[in-house]
Amino acid sequence: MEINPLPREAVLIVNVHSRKGEALFAQAKEKLEQGGVRLIAAHAVHDPDRLQDLVRQAVASGAPMVIVGGGDGSLSGTVDELVGKNCVFGVLPLGTANSFARTLGLPLDLEGAVEVIAKGRRQRIDLGVIDHDYFVNAASLGLSPMIGRTVPHKLKRYLGRIGYLIWAVKCSIGFRAFRLMIDDGQSQRRMWSTEVRILNGSYHGGVELSEQADVQSGELVIQAVVGRSHARLAWDWYAKFFKLRDRDGQTEEFRGRSFRIETRPRQRISIDGEVLAKTPVTVAVAPGAIDVAVPG
């Protein structure tokens, strides 16, 4: 089997605003250098709005690998700069759910993630695209964007996924189901739904939602929680979290390269945890868009 080794030089960019970023930046820098990765530059970023510019500059300077530390939103917000470039994307999972890292099979602890970057291999993967905006792992509409848009930062920072769960219960009180239309270019499906997941990878919110989604499949998976019942949505998350036998009983899945999604009323869309779009949208897969560091 052909092994594609990783570069031995990199630029490190860490969002210290993420859940673990500030505490672990110095450790990450030290462990990477101890692991044999020469850091051309290292940036501890306090303003998340600067992340994309720093990644763009690193890629433009010819860095063979850019290592980004943060949550899924930090990764999604910077990945556009690596599309079509001969630069490897290294991931340090320092966020709350770390869904993209789970999809790639990366260790969630700092030492393990650094070891992958130091001793792993490069692998070409797909990205998702929503109206020309690339994302790494998953997007959603329905209750999840309401949670992501309003959850207090301190609740998310200190309680992690439990904090999301607490806030989800609060948000669900005023939430209403919506009419959904999914068009794959050949047929249309219409239904009531409480949540829709657009999956490039198998994880969302730190939970494995679909065994069919894969970052090397050349397809996206659209997963809709059907019906108007809040109880069905709650049971769907519960069943998937605990991997129950009937965990797919509340959802319908659609696989393909491109979809048009419309809702009534319009719904906000959370892209890798950040609310950045609103229906109607066109979603598509970008096959083999970037190289990432994965376990060897």
Q: In this predicted model, what pLDDT tens digit does every residue of 34-63 receive, in sequence order? A: 999 999 999 999 999 999 999 999 999 999
Residue 57 lies in a domain: yes
Reported as a single tens digit per residue, the pLDDT across 216-242 is 999 999 999 999 988 888 888 888 888
Contact criterion met (CB below 8 Å) for 40 and 87: no
Asked if residue 185 and residue 161 are part of one domain, the reply reads: yes
Closest to 21 measured CA to CA, from 40, 58, 54, 48 = 48
pLDDT of 108 over the 70 cut: yes
Asked if residue 269 and residue 177 are part of one domain, the reply reads: yes
Domain boundary (125, 152, 186) is at 125
Look up the domain containing 192 and give its range.
134-288
Contact criterion met (CB below 8 Å) for 230 and 194: yes
Q: Tokens in use for 166?
A: 């607490």
Asked if residue 243 and residue 167 are part of one domain, the reply reads: yes
The domain tally of the chain equals: 2
In this prediction, residues 13-25 reach a mean pLDDT of: 80
* Packed helices 161-172 and 143-150: angle between N→C axes, nearest 10 degrees: 110
Residue 4 lies in a domain: no
Reported as a single tens digit per residue, the pLDDT across 134-182 is 999 999 998 777 666 666 666 565 555 666 566 566 666 668 899 999 9
Asked if residue 140 and residue 268 are part of one domain, the reply reads: yes
Looking at residue 167, its pLDDT comes to: 55
Looking at residue 1, its pLDDT comes to: 42
Looking at residue 166, its pLDDT comes to: 61
Domain boundary (70, 91, 125) is at 125
Lowest mean pLDDT of 65-69, 93-97, 102-106, 169-173, name the range.
169-173
- The whole-angstrom separation of Cα 115 and Cα 107 is 9
Q: By percentage, how much of the chain surpasses pLDDT 70?
A: 88
Question: DSSP assignment, residue 193?
Answer: E
Residue 2 lies in a domain: no
Q: Tokens in use for 106?
A: 């990366």
Looking at residue 161, its pLDDT comes to: 60
pLDDT of 21 over the 80 cut: no
Domain boundary (92, 125, 158) is at 125
Closest to 104 measured CA to CA, from 75, 61, 80 = 75
Asked if residue 266 and residue 146 are part of one domain, the reply reads: yes
Q: Tokens in use for 233?
A: 């949505």
pLDDT of 20 over the 90 cut: no
Q: Tokens in use for 128?
A: 């998702």
The three state secondary structure string of 201-239 is CCEECCEECCCCCCCCCCCEEEEEEECCCHHHHHHHHHH
- The whole-angstrom separation of Cα 225 and Cα 234 is 10
Asked if residue 150 and residue 91 are part of one domain, the reply reads: no
Asked if residue 141 and residue 119 are part of one domain, the reply reads: no
What integer best gives the mean pLDDT of the chain? 90
pTM score: 0.91
- The whole-angstrom separation of Cα 284 and Cα 290 is 15
Residue 208 lies in a domain: yes
CATH number assigned to the domain comprising residue 67: 3.40.50.10330
Residue 96 lies in a domain: yes
Residue 110 lies in a domain: yes
Q: By percentage, how much of the chain surpasses pLDDT 90?
A: 73
Residue 48 lies in a domain: yes
Asked if residue 283 and residue 205 are part of one domain, the reply reads: yes
Asked if residue 237 and residue 157 are part of one domain, the reply reads: yes
Report the amino acid identity of residue 50: R
Looking at residue 175, its pLDDT comes to: 80
Asked if residue 231 and residue 110 are part of one domain, the reply reads: no
Q: Tokens in use for 229?
A: 């019942």
Residue 235 lies in a domain: yes
Separation in Å, CA 108 to CA 42, 49, 96, 104: 21, 24, 10, 11
Asked if residue 145 and residue 120 are part of one domain, the reply reads: no
pLDDT of 30 over the 70 cut: yes
Contact criterion met (CB below 8 Å) for 73 and 95: yes
Asked if residue 100 and residue 53 are part of one domain, the reply reads: yes
